[in-house]
Amino acid sequence: MQPSAFVRQNNAETAEHAQKIRECFAILTQGVEMIHYDSKQPVPLKKKRIVWMDSDILRVCVDDRRPTLIDRAKGKTSPGLYMRDIAEVRGGDFSHDFQKNVSRPANADLCLSLIGSERTISLELPGKMERDWFLERLQLVAQVTFHHTAAAPRHTHRALTSPSLLMCVSFCRIF
C-alpha cells in the first residue's frame, strides 16, 4: 500500500470514528431508558433507569430522573462515571453487577458494562442491534478519552483536547 493510500484510509477511518462518537453523544445527551443492574443495594436491583450524558461535565449518568435546574444549582451530581474514568466498555454479562444480581439477564447478548475505578455501570438494552450500536460507539469514546488523558496524572484536572471529543461537546451543546 502506498503512503498516500494509507493516509486516505486513515483519514476516512478517523472521520468515521468522529461521526460515530458524535452520534453517541447526541443520543446520550437526550437520554435513553435502559435496564440498570446495581449490586450496591442491600438486595441487588434490576431496574429501568434513564442513562444520559451530562455534556457540561462529560459524565455518563444513571438515575430514575434527570436532575432539575435547582439540583444542578446546588451542585448535585447523579450517579455515574466521568468519561475520562471509563477504562473499559465490555459486552456481555460478565461484570460484577450482573454476577451478583438475583435476577440475571435472560440474554447476555443484550448487556454491556462501563467499567471505571469509581464504579461499574451494567446495562441491559432492548435488543442486540441497540447493544452493538452503543457498544461500538462507547468503546470508541473510551479509547479516545483514555488515549488523551492517560499521560495526565489522575489527581489534576486536564481538559480533553481530542478533536473528536471537542467536536462532540460543541455538537451536544447545540441541542
- For the chain, domains (ranges, CATH) are 3-174 (2.30.29.30)
Q: Please give the angle made by the CA atoms of 150, 155 and 160, to the nearest 5 degrees.
A: 45
- Tell me the DSSP string of 90-149: EESS-SHHHHH-SS--S-GGGEEEEEESS-EEEEE-SSHHHHHHHHHHHHHHHHHHHHHH
Res 41: pLDDT: 67
What is the percentage of the chain residues whose pLDDT exceeds 90?
Answer: 19
118 contact partners, CB below 8 Å, separation of at least 6:
81, 82, 85
Amino acid at 104: R
For residue 62, what are the β-bridge partners?
51
Residue, of 154 and 101, whose pLDDT is higher: 101
CA–CA distances in Å: residue 114 to residues 72, 89, 173? 24, 5, 23
Hey, what's the cell of 4?
498516500
Res 136: pLDDT: 93
pTM comes to 0.73
Res 67: pLDDT: 84
Exposed / middle / buried, residue 17 (Cβ in 10 Å: 0-12, 13-18, 19+)? middle
How many contiguous H segments (helices) and E segments (strands) does the chain have?
5, 7
With 60 as the cut, is the pLDDT of residue 64 above it?
Answer: yes
Hey, what's the cell of 80?
455515574
